[in-house]
Amino acid sequence: MSDGNNARSTAQATLQQVDAQTINEAGKVLAVHLSYRSRAEQRGRIPANPSYFMKASSSLALTGGTVERPAGTELLAFEGEVALVIGTAARRVSVEDAWGHVGFVTASNDLGVYDIKYADKGSNIRSKSGDGFTPFGPALLPAADINPDALRIRTWVNGEAVQDDTTAGLIFSFAQIVADLSQLMTLQPGDVILTGTPAGSSVIVPGDVVEVEVADEAAGLSTGRLSTTVVQGEHGFASFGDTPKITDKDRIDAFGSEEAAGLAPAVTGKSALTDDVKAKLLSVATATISGALRKRGLNNVSVDGLLATKPGQKVIGTARTLRYVPNREDLFKSHGGGYNAQKRIIDAVGPGEILVMEARGEKGSGTLGDILAMRAQVRGAEAIITDGGVRDLSEVAALDIPTFYNGAHPAVLGRKHVPWDYDVTIGCGGATIQPGDIIIADDNGILVIPPALAAEIADEVVEQERRDSFVFQMVKEGHKIDGLFPMNADWLAKYQQWVAEGNGA
């Protein structure tokens, strides 16, 4: 054991360090907007393809330095990231060959001032390119000696861990990012690519110390901790240019969430569908829930015309959505093959979630087959809903996961559909569904419940179901409908006594 530790320490000690020459050789600093699933889910959107911005090479800095928060600003945020340093020139390289053009990997901190972000119009030039806004290092890990799919990225603020993720959580691999950028430009030796940050990025203030580390723990290699101290700057933004301006959205983006930003959190499906609310909604028929929705003016919240592979089974969950557009051969060529939107959302859906597909009611092609349905089942999804066709229907029906569908068809996806995007607002079976909406389905139908109404509807429908049970029992015993359904004052008093006696619990 001690010999292994000594060998590891020796290997670590001989790693090349980021120095002034490393910075001088960086002709370009390129950065990915969103690349970790944890961050994308926090932002509420999962991109179909990587997108980028550039930072000034003058923003690069060594470990142990300081970064100024400009005077008149308050939203300086850190982003711990894995930085790639290009080793050999890359131009139009394939994904398979791309990693061979990476020379080193190190830690980085993609700092930015959200107070001025509005003025950049997406470029991030002013908000992200300040002097010292891209510290990176301290050690350079040889790309050939590490596993890019198993790196651990961690960030600490004042010694407290605030980010901890691995590159297994990437939406886009490092090789894909390098290959994609090389389509546009020649990546030169020394160029730096910042590969995005996981969830946990937030605002820092003068006096805070931020540390970032990247490690291949299996290989026993670590960059060491990249340390940066925040100081208050004396100079702000002059009036002859754009000056700081903050919106609530800027605060949320900078802090990472509405709660962290001190703003009232929006009601989401996951937060609204508590165990108590879920139990209450599952205890009643969708017909009862439909009545409660109608009372609130919501008459177009049913997904109509679908069949079920599991009759008699009730499901509930929050919506993840997938949208198909009508097939066009050139668009299917660019969006239909490979790891397309359909496969990405299937790989993303999980416990407590229901995948809902918009297929425009088109039954002339499959939108799902047994392999992808099995993948959703393995991922723990509650159900699949599509207003399009299903291939391999007998195999899909044999799975444990319930599927609601519009018909069977043997044709593959491309006959009628292009998988276009996901986690967007869609229309399915005549109903509009947004990501995070609560979906409940049984033999009576499929309903969409706005998350903000879930708790009050759950309470109301339990009471309504109890009243309906009482009325049903009275009718069964021979009582007339008049005055009972709906209940007049006399019957209401009898109902309350019935409940007090412990009935209808």
One domain, residues 348 and 313: yes
What tens digit of pLDDT does each residue of 387-428 get?
999 999 999 999 999 999 999 999 988 889 999 999 889 999
Distance CA 265, CA 42 (A): 13
One domain, residues 243 and 304: no
Which residue, of 449, 470, 490, is where some domain finishes? 449
One domain, residues 441 and 462: no
pLDDT of residue 505: 66
Whether 284 is in a domain gets the answer: no
* CA proximity to 421, closest of 333, 302, 320: 320
Which residue, of 255, 270, 290, is where some domain finishes? 255
Record the pTM.
0.58
Distance CA 301, CA 286 (A): 11
DSSP 59: G
Residue 417 and residue 335 in contact, taking contact as beta carbons nearer than 8 Å:
no
Q: Does residue 7 register a pLDDT over 60?
A: no
Q: Residue with structure tokens 């276009």?
A: 420
pLDDT of residue 13: 54
Peptide bond between residue 138 and the one before it cis (omega within 30 degrees of 0): yes
Distance CA 149, CA 272 (A): 35
Q: Does residue 223 register a pLDDT over 60?
A: yes
Number of domain units in the chain: 3
Distance CA 201, CA 176 (A): 24
Which residue, of 255, 282, 316, is where some domain finishes? 255
| Residues 6 or more apart whose Cβ sits within 8 Å of residue 147 | 216, 218, 219
CATH label of the domain that carries residue 51: 3.90.850.10
One domain, residues 468 and 395: no
Per-residue CA distances from 208 to 158, 205, 228 (Å): 6, 6, 8
Element (DSSP H or E) covering residue 6 = helix 2-13
State what percent of residues in the chain have pLDDT above 70. Answer: 96
One domain, residues 232 and 99: yes
Residue 206 and residue 70 in contact, taking contact as beta carbons nearer than 8 Å:
no
pLDDT of residue 107: 97
Q: Does residue 6 register a pLDDT over 70?
A: no
Q: Residue with structure tokens 């926090």?
A: 42
Whether 166 is in a domain gets the answer: yes
Domain that holds residue 29: 16-255
Whether 165 is in a domain gets the answer: yes
pLDDT classification of 265: cutoffs 50, 70, 90: low
Mean confidence (pLDDT) of the chain: 91
Distance CA 339, CA 100 (A): 22
Whether 112 is in a domain gets the answer: yes
Query: Helix 341-348 and helix 370-379: axis angle, to 10°?
Result: 30
Q: Does residue 170 register a pLDDT over 80?
A: yes
pLDDT, average across residues 13-25? 90
What's the Rg (C-alpha) of the chain? Answer: 28
One domain, residues 473 and 403: no
| β-strand partners of 408 | 390
Whether 494 is in a domain gets the answer: yes
One domain, residues 49 and 100: yes
What tens digit of pLDDT does each residue of 92-141 get?
999 999 999 999 999 999 999 999 999 888 889 989 999 999 999 999 99
One domain, residues 167 and 55: yes
One domain, residues 465 and 400: no
What tens digit of pLDDT does each residue of 301-356 get?
999 999 999 999 999 999 999 999 999 999 998 888 888 999 999 999 999 999 99
One domain, residues 396 and 495: no
Question: Which residue blocks in 75-144 are alpha helix, DSSP H?
Answer: 95-98, 125-128
CATH label of the domain that carries residue 336: 3.50.30.40
Q: Residue with structure tokens 């092609």?
A: 365
Whether 54 is in a domain gets the answer: yes
One domain, residues 125 and 168: yes
Q: How far apart are the first and last CA of the chain?
A: 63
Whether 271 is in a domain gets the answer: no
Whether 291 is in a domain gets the answer: no
* CA proximity to 226, closest of 168, 163, 154, 174: 154
pLDDT of residue 235: 92
One domain, residues 329 and 400: yes
